[in-house]
Amino acid sequence: MKILVAGGGPAGLSAAALLAQTSSTHQITVIERQGSGDSRGWGITLRRHALGFLNLAQLLPPNQLRSLAGRRLLVRGECRIDYDNPPDDSLVTIARDDLVAALARRCEQLGVQLRLGVDADQLRADEIKANDLLVAADGAHSPVRQRWAKEVAPNVGAGRNWYAWLATDRMFPKLTILFTDRIRPLLAWAYEYAPGMSSFIVERHDDSPAHAHELLLPVSLQRQDLAGEFAAELQGHRLFCAQSVRWKRFPLVRCKHLQVDNIVLVGDAAHTTHFSQGFGTMFAFDDACALAEALQGATSVRAALERYEGSQQPRIEEFQAAADKSRRWSEQLLAAAQARREDQVQALIAARWPRNDAPAAPAPKERLQRMQQVAA
């Protein structure tokens, strides 16, 4: 089969690599709008078993991976929850750029052609038709999805809080939620992912109508103020922020259909799950597995894509419900703090992690192992 993948993020690269691994006769090309060396974010978390997928553990040197020791919740500097990992659950962290580079290496090993600096928006209809399959893996604002919006019927909304993805050189060995309202209510999600580096994702409340999805003012101009607001938690450590980072509202993407003709949506182009409990990257791996499974033994591409949609829609519903609950918790907490409703703030804090339960995640071990066996 001739397969074109639009988007060289985790979804596009993992789908391309897995499809190449399951059939040596596929001719696969990935086109990516950005050039090499463009960075998008800091460290991300995955369940440890995901490293077995596509032999990622072999592609990633051990010093690029870290294990998180559990979860913590700090309220105004005071530790309110401190759990070690529950049995059978451990989170690993990795720089997003290192993961994408490892997936790109795997693609190259498997003969996938990577073309950087190519915009899928410019694809002509005849170029798309010349392929048996177009995999749209072009992210939450997917131009491909927008082009076929009538057929896939996307529903795109936005969370209420503003968020910004920063980093710090303070080490957070556990997945740590930090709540402060010394100056204004703020939440941060922090976890170490490299020697001397932790992701630090800040959320803030805003009552303004949800029509804007991104603010023009660069977050880097407010970096010092934010460091001051989290001074007690950062203990003299610095915050880092890329120049281009803006405050954003988290995009909420769901689609009535995940496929049309010879086009299929995977990863954030198909669905988003809030970063506070989303495992969006693992969901991208899950989509890659479902697509590869659906194509195996299918009588036609159409039949395979319908099977893929049937497999993933219930999973999207399940994991978006869990991620939405987590997103709403952040929104309610910051709104209650803004309104100075201390009773509500305390009730929400108590409700976050009442037990040390690991949330369900996409790409379960069994599915990834099954695909590895098929691929071997």
Ligand X SMILES: Cc1cc2nc3c(=O)[nH]c(=O)nc-3n(C[C@H](O)[C@H](O)[C@H](O)COP(=O)(O)OP(=O)(O)OC[C@H]3O[C@@H](n4cnc5c(N)ncnc54)[C@H](O)[C@@H]3O)c2cc1C
Residues 222-251: x/- map of binding to ligand X (CB under 6 A)? ------------------------------
By CB under 6 A, tell whether 5 contacts ligand X: no
By CB under 6 A, tell whether 276 contacts ligand X: no
Question: In terms of Cα–Cα distance, which of 275, 302, 258, 301 is closest to 136?
Answer: 258
Footprint of ligand X on 40-59 (CB under 6 A) = 44-46
SS3 of residue 193 by DSSP = strand
Kindly write down the DSSP assignment for every residue of 61-112, as one continuous string.
-GGG-EE--EEEEEETTEEEEEEEPPTT--EEEEEHHHHHHHHHHHHHHTT-
Choice from 53, 179, 275, 308 touching ligand X (CB under 6 A): 275
By CB under 6 A, tell whether 137 contacts ligand X: yes
Tell me the number of residues near ligand X by CB under 6 A: 33
d(CA 201, CA 276): 9
Check if the beta carbon of residue 1 is closer than 8 Å to that of residue 26: yes
By CB under 6 A, tell whether 286 contacts ligand X: no
By CB under 6 A, tell whether 192 contacts ligand X: no
By CB under 6 A, tell whether 185 contacts ligand X: no
Choice from 234, 280, 292, 334 touching ligand X (CB under 6 A): 280
Nearer to ligand X, 269 or 295 (CB): 269
Task: List the structure tokens of 191.
Answer: 């976890």
Question: In terms of Cα–Cα distance, which of 280, 278, 208 is closest to 247?
Answer: 208
By CB under 6 A, tell whether 138 contacts ligand X: yes
By CB under 6 A, tell whether 165 contacts ligand X: yes
Choice from 4, 16, 17, 31 touching ligand X (CB under 6 A): 31
Paired residues of 204 in beta bridges: 162, 186
By CB under 6 A, tell whether 70 contacts ligand X: no
Can you say how many angstroms the Cα of residue 312 is from the centroid of all Cα atoms in its chain?
A: 17
User: Least distance to ligand X from the beta carbon of 271, Å?
Assistant: 9
Paired residues of 93 in beta bridges: 45, 66
In the chain, the largest separation of any two C-alpha atoms, in whole Å, equals 62
By CB under 6 A, tell whether 267 contacts ligand X: yes
The contact set with ligand X (CB under 6 A) reads 6-12, 31-34, 44-46, 119-121, 137-139, 143, 165, 201, 267-269, 275, 278-282, 284
